[in-house]
Amino acid sequence: MKSTNNKIISAKHINFFYKEFHALKDINLEISSQSVTAFIGPSGCGKSTFLRLFNRMNDLIHGTRIEGLCLVEGENIYAKGVDTDRLRKKVGMVFQKPNPFPKTIFENVAYGLRVNGMGDKQFISQRVETSLRSAALWEEVKDKLHKSAYALSGGQQQRLCIARALAVEPSILLMDEPASALDPISTARIEELIVRLKQNYTILIVTHNMQQASRISDQTGFFMMGELVEFGSTKQIFTAPEREQTYNYISGHFG
Amino acid sequence: MLAKRCNKLRERIVERIFSVSGAITTIAIVLIVVFLFREGFGLFGSSTIENGYSLFVNAKNDISSLSPTDTKRIFDGEITDWRDVGGKAGEIKVFRFDEIFNLYSEDAFGDNYALLPDKLAEVIDNNPTIIAFLPDKYAPKPSSVVKRLTDRRITAADFVLGTQWLPTATPSPLYGMLPLILGTLLVSLFAVILALPLGLGVAVYLSELSDNRIRRIMKPAVELLAGIPSVVYGFFGLAVLVPLVQRTFALPVGETAFSAGIVLAIMALPTIISVAEDALRSISPAMREASLALGATKWQTIYRVVIPCAKSGLLAAIVLGIGRAVGETMAVLMVSGNAAVMPHSLFESVRTIPATIAAELGEAPSDGTHYQALFMLGCILFIFTSIVSIAAEIITKKHHTSKEL
C-alpha cells in the first residue's frame, strides 16, 4: 500500500500518553521525501516524543500508549506484527549526546551492518568508508579506523554517530538535537552535512536553536504543550506565522 | 577573622585525622601480611622430626638419615626391612622411648634418671637393626655404638608437593599440602562453574529483561541472601543437601566435594548477581538506544553492547565470587567431610585450606611446626586470592587501554 503522493511520512490524529499524561494531542502532518523538517518549541512540548514515534523508540519507555495512525512509506508502523528491528533499519536516529560504542571507529560504523547480518568483510569495509565519507569524517579518521571512537572530539563523535546511522542505508533520519552538545564550529559542520544529506534522505530534526531551524529546514513545525501549533514551510513560519503563539516564540517573547 | 582562623584549624585537624587513620590502616594490613609470612616461612628449615626428639640407630647401620615419609612408614610398620630404605638387609626393630621402662626396673636408672642414656645406648648396641625414637633430654651421646640420624629440614618441595597431610603423626609429622590445595581447587572450581553462568544469567535477566516490579522485589531479596551467615548455609547443606546427595548418587557418605561446591555456589551467587547487575545497570541507556535504533534486537544489544561495556564490572563480580568460594571456611568445614586425602572425584570427601586452618589451629602448639605449617597454608591462600585479583586487574586494564587506543 504505497502512498500515491510522495509523502514519506504521515501522522493522522496522533495522541500519545505517558501513563496518564497526555503528551501529544491530535497531531496531523505530512512530510515529503528528501526534505528537512525541523521541530521547534519550548522544553517538554513533546517534539522529541513526536520524533521518537517514527522509529518506535518510545516503546522502550514503560507505560506509553499511542492512538491514531502513523504511516512511514505508507505502512502503519504501529500495526500488529510490525518488526521494529526492520523499521529501525529504515528509520535511523541520531541522538542529542554523541553516543558511540566503546569500540573502534570502524566497528562503530560496521555495527548496524553486523547486527543485521549484512554482507561480507569487503562489503562492510566498503560501506564503512562510504558512510564515513557521507558523514564528512573520512578524511579525519581514515588513518585511525581501528582506534577507539572515544579518542575523537565531541563533534567528530557526533558525525561518527551519523555515519553509523547512514551505514544501514535508512531512508529517513531522525535527529534529536544533534548539535546541542557541540561547539559552534562542530555545529556548523553538522548543519552543512544535514543540508547535503537531504539529497538522499528524509530528515526530521528537533532543535532548540531557531536560527538552525531556519538555516537548514524546508518546513518547520512548532510544538507547544503537546500540540502542533503550526506547521508550514520554514520561510512562512519564520517570516509570516499565522498563529500568535508561533510569532511570540520565534521572536523570543517566551521560551 | 577569628572564626575564619578556627575554621582553618578545624579543617587541618580533620585532614590530619583522615591521613593518620589511613596510615594506621595501611600499616596494620602490611604488618598482618608480614606476620603471616614470617610465621609461615619458619616452617622451612625446621626439623622433620618432632620438636625435642631425635632418631638413633646402631652405629653399624649405614643409614645416616631418613626422609619424613620413610620415617613415618617405618613407624607405621609399612616398611619392615632396612633394604627398602637403602640399607643392608635386616628386619627393622622399632623402639619407642617408653619401651625402656619394660626392659629395666626403675632402680636401674639411678637418681634423676642419670643412667637412662647409658641404658638406652645399651639397648641400641644390643640390637643392630634398631631404630629408636628418643627425647633429646635422655638421648645417649653418639659414640662407637650409637648413631644419631642427621636431621632433615622441611623443604618447600616437601610442603608443596607432599601428598600427605598428617600433622600429628609421630615421630615425623607430614605437611604435604597438595591434598588440601587440590581439595580447595576442586570445591571452588566446581562452585564457580556452577555459580558464574547462573549468577551472570540472573544479573542479565534482572537488569535487561525483567520488568521493574520483579526487579524491585528480587534485587533486595538477593542482597539479603548475601548477608546470611555462612554457618546457616552450612547447616542447610548438612541437613538438606548432604542426605540428598548421599541418596541420589548412592554414596557411602554425603559429605563430598560435590555438596560443598553446591553450598559454596549458592553462597557466591548473591555477590555475583548483585555486583554484576549493578555493573549492567550502570551502562547508560544511550548505549542501548543507539544499538536498538540501528535495528539490533534486544539480545544483540545485550551481548554486543551492554555486556562488553560492563566488562570490568562483570569481572569484578566474577573475582568477588571466586574470592568468596576460595576463602569460605565454615560452610565448607561442615559439608565437605574434611578428609585430607588426595581427591580423585567430586564424590569424595575433601578438605580445603581454610577449613584445615580453622579446624587445626586450636590444637597446634604455638611454637611447633604444625602451627607454622598452618600459617604457611594461610600464605598460600593469600597468594592464591592475590593472583586471582591481580589477574582480574590486568584483564580490566587491558580492556581499558584498548578502549582508549
8 Å CB contact of A115 and B290: no
CATH class of the A34-57+81-250 domain in this structure: alpha beta
pLDDT (tens digit per residue) in B162-184 = 889 988 888 888 899 999 999 99
| Interface size, chain A vs chain B, as Cβ–Cβ contacts under 8 Å | 79
- Assigned fold of B53-150: D-Maltodextrin-Binding Protein; domain 2 (3.40.190)
Q: Which amino acid, B118?
A: D
A62 touches chain B (CB under 8 A): yes
**C-alpha cell of B302?**
545485550
pLDDT of residue A77: 93
Kindly report the average pLDDT of chain B as a whole number.
Answer: 88
3-state secondary structure of A207: coil
Share of chain A above pLDDT 70, in %: 97
> Given a cut of 90, is residue B305 above it in pLDDT?
yes
Residue boundaries of the structural domains of chain A: 34-57+81-250
Residue A95 in contact with partner chain B when CB distance is under 8 A: yes
pLDDT in tens, A57-67: 998 888 899 99
Please state the rounded mean pLDDT for residues A68-91: 91
Contact assessment for residue B287 and residue B356, using Cβ atoms and an 8 Å cutoff: no
Which positions in chain A touch B285 (Cβ < 8 Å)? Answer: 60
Averaged pLDDT for residues B36-48: 88
Q: Which CATH number fits domain B178-404: 1.10.3720.10, 2.60.40.1930, 2.40.30.30, 1.10.10.10?
A: 1.10.3720.10
**Contact in structure between B163 and B176 (CB atoms under 8 Å):** yes
Residue among B211, B287, B292 whose CB faces A101 most closely: B287
**B19 touches A: beta carbon within 8 Å:** no
Instruction: Give me the helices (H) in B294-368, please.
Output: 298-301, 307-309, 311-327, 330-335, 353-360
The mean-pLDDT minimum among A31-40, A91-100, A117-126 falls in: A117-126
Q: How far apart are CA A126 and CA A252, in angstroms?
A: 46
Is the model's pLDDT at A34 over the cut of 50?
A: yes
Mapped onto helix, strand or coil, the DSSP state of residue B57 is strand
Taking the C-alpha atoms of residue A60 and residue B51, their distance in angstroms, rounded to an integer, is 73
Burial annotation A192-214 (CB, 10 A radius, 16+ → b, else e): ebbeebbeebbbbbbbbbbebbb
Q: What pLDDT was estimated at residue B289? A: 92
- Is B76's pLDDT higher than 90? no
DSSP label of B362? G
pTM: 0.80
State the pLDDT at residue A39: 95
Distances (CA, A) of A57 to A85, A173, B285, B293, B309: 11, 13, 12, 7, 21
Domain boundaries, chain B: 53-150, 178-404
- Which one of B209, B282, B294, B305 would you mutate to disrupt binding with A, by most A Cβ within 10 Å of its Cβ? B294
B308/A92 CB distance under 8 A: no
- Interatomic CA distance for residues B152 and B167, integer angstroms: 16
CB contact under 8 A, B309 and A102: yes
pLDDT on residue B112: 81
Q: State the pairing for strand pair A227-233/A219-224.
A: antiparallel
Minimum-distance CB partner of A57 among B289, B295, B402: B289
Chain A CB contacts of B211 under 8 Å are 62
A95 and B289 within 8 Å at the Cβ level: the answer is yes
Instruction: Write down the pLDDT at residue B404.
Output: 43
What would the grid cell of residue B332 be? 565448607
Environment class of residue B14 by beta-carbon count within 10 Å: exposed (0-12), middle (13-18) or buried (19+)? exposed
Q: Which of A55, A103, A115 is facing B296, going by the closest CB pair?
A: A115
Mean pLDDT for chain A? 90
| Residue range B213-234, pLDDT digits in tens | 899 999 999 989 888 898 999 9
**Do B402 and A97 count as a contact with CB atoms less than 8 A apart?**
no
**Counting every residue, how long is chain B?**
405
Q: Is the pLDDT of residue B377 over 90?
A: yes
**B394 vs A231 pLDDT, higher one:** A231
Amino acid B212: pLDDT:
85
Task: Please give the pLDDT value at position A3.
Answer: 42
Flag whether residue B91 sits within 8 Å of chain A, measured between CB atoms. Answer: no
Residue type present at position B163: T
Contact state of A95 with B295 under an 8 Å Cβ cutoff: no
- Per-window interface: A 126-155 vs B, CB < 8 A: 146-148, 150-151
pLDDT recorded at residue B402: 47
All residues of chain B having their beta carbon less than 8 Å from the beta carbon of residue A146 are: 405
Per-residue model confidence (pLDDT) at position B366: 82
Residue B241: per-residue pLDDT:
93
pLDDT higher than threshold 50 for residue A2: no
Q: How far is the first Cα of chain A from the last one, in angstroms, to the nearest whole number?
A: 41
A221 pLDDT band, cuts 50/70/90, is very high
pLDDT at B141 > cutoff 60: yes
pLDDT at residue A4 tops 70 = no
> Which pLDDT belongs to residue A126?
94
Tell me what the mean pLDDT of segment B48-54 comes to.
Answer: 84
Enumerate the residues of chain B whose CB falls inside 8 A of the CB of residue A100. Answer: 290
Would you call A116 an interface residue with chain B, using a CB distance cutoff of 8 Å? yes
